[in-house]
C-alpha cells in the first residue's frame, strides 16, 4: 500500500496524507480556537481553549479552589509546556523535561496572565504550522498529533471544571 494523494476521497486502505492532515487540523482547531464548521466533534460551540481563556481574568486564573488542584494559570503554562516539549522532541529528539516545573505558577498579575496566554497561542501556532506543512507522517508524528489534541482536551476539561468549581464558596463549611 502507498499513501497516494490522488486516491479518491472515499475510504481506501491507503489513506491520503491530506485526509489525515485535514482531520487533525479540524481537531486541533476545535480544541484550541473553536470549530469553524456548524457542528462540533467533542466540544460545545464557544468552549474551545482560547474562547474559554478569553473569559478569564488574572484574578480568576490565580485562584485555587482546592489544595488538590492547581490554578488555571498553571494549567495554561502546563499545556504550553507540553506543546513545546513535543515539538522539540519531534524536531531534535527527546530530552528529559521538567514536568513538575511546568506547574509552578502561582498568582499572576494581569501582565503575567496575558503573557501566559500569548505564549500558549504562539506555541499552538507553531504546532498548527507543523501540522499544515509536515509532508510525511510516521507513528511519532501521528501519535504526537493525536496526543496534543487529547492532552489539550483533558486540560480543557479540567479548566472548565475549575470554572464551575470556582462558583462554590472559597471557604467551605467546616464542622
Partner 1 sequence: MTEMDANEVAGAVSSEPLGDVIRTEALDLLEEVFVTHHGYILDRGTSLFDTLAGIDSETASLRYSPHCGTLAAQVNHTRFYLDVVLRAMRDGDTTRADWDSSWEVEAVSTAEWTALVAGLRASYEAVHAFIGSRDRWNEASVGDAMAIVAHSAYHLGEIRQALAVIPLLRPANADA
> Grid coordinates 487533525 are at which residue?
24
Tell the smallest beta-carbon distance from residue 121 to partner 1 (Å).
Answer: 20
In the complex with partner 1, the residue whose CB is nearer, 82 or 113, is 82
For the segment 49-88, give every residue that binds partner 1 (CB under 8 A). 65-66, 68-69, 78, 82, 85-86
Q: Which three cell numbers stand for residue 43?
A: 466540544
For the segment 105-134, give every residue that binds partner 1 (CB under 8 A). none
* Given 52, 97, 107, 128, the residue binding partner 1 (CB under 8 A): 97
152 burial via Cβ count (<10 Å: 0-12, 13-18, 19+):
buried
* Given 20, 33, 63, 121, the residue binding partner 1 (CB under 8 A): 20
Distance from C-alpha of 43 to C-alpha of 57, rounded to nearest angstrom: 22
In the complex with partner 1, the residue whose CB is nearer, 49 or 117, is 49
Residues in the chain: 175
Q: Is position 147 an interface residue for partner 1 (rule: CB under 8 A)?
A: yes
For the segment 150-169, give every residue that binds partner 1 (CB under 8 A). 150-151, 153-162, 164-165, 167-168
The CB density around residue 137, as the number of other CB atoms within 10 Å, is 18
In the complex with partner 1, the residue whose CB is nearer, 133 or 167, is 167
Tell the smallest beta-carbon distance from residue 117 to partner 1 (Å).
Answer: 19
Q: Is position 6 an interface residue for partner 1 (rule: CB under 8 A)?
A: no
160 burial via Cβ count (<10 Å: 0-12, 13-18, 19+):
middle
Q: Which residues does 97 contact at the CB level (< 8 Å), separation at least 6?
A: 81, 85
Distance of CA 60 to the CA centre of its chain: 20
Stretch that binds partner 1, among 51-59, 105-113, 124-132, 144-152 (CB under 8 A): 144-152
Amino acid at each position: 500500500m502507498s499513501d497516494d494523494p490522488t486516491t479518491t476521497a472515499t475510504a481506501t486502505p491507503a489513506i491520503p496524507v491530506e485526509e489525515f492532515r485535514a482531520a487533525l487540523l479540524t481537531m486541533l482547531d476545535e480544541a484550541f480556537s473553536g470549530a469553524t464548521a456548524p457542528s462540533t466533534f467533542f466540544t460545545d460551540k464557544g468552549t474551545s481553549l482560547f474562547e474559554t481563556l478569553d473569559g478569564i481574568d488574572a484574578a480568576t486564573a490565580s485562584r485555587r479552589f482546592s489544595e488538590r488542584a492547581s490554578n488555571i494559570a498553571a494549567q495554561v503554562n502546563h499545556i504550553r509546556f507540553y506543546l513545546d516539549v513535543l515539538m522539540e522532541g519531534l524536531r531534535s529528539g527527546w530530552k528529559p523535561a521538567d514536568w513538575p516545573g511546568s506547574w509552578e505558577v502561582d498568582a499572576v498579575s494581569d501582565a503575567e496572565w496575558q503573557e501566559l496566554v500569548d505564549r500558549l497561542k504562539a506555541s499552538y501556532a507553531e504546532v498548527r504550522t507543523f501540522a499544515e506543512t509536515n509532508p510525511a507522517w510516521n507513528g511519532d508524528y501521528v501519535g504526537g498529533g493525536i496526543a496534543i489534541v487529547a492532552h489539550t482536551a483533558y486540560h480543557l476539561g479540567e479548566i472548565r471544571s475549575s470554572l464551575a468549581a470556582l462558583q462554590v464558596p472559597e471557604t467551605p463549611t467546616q464542622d
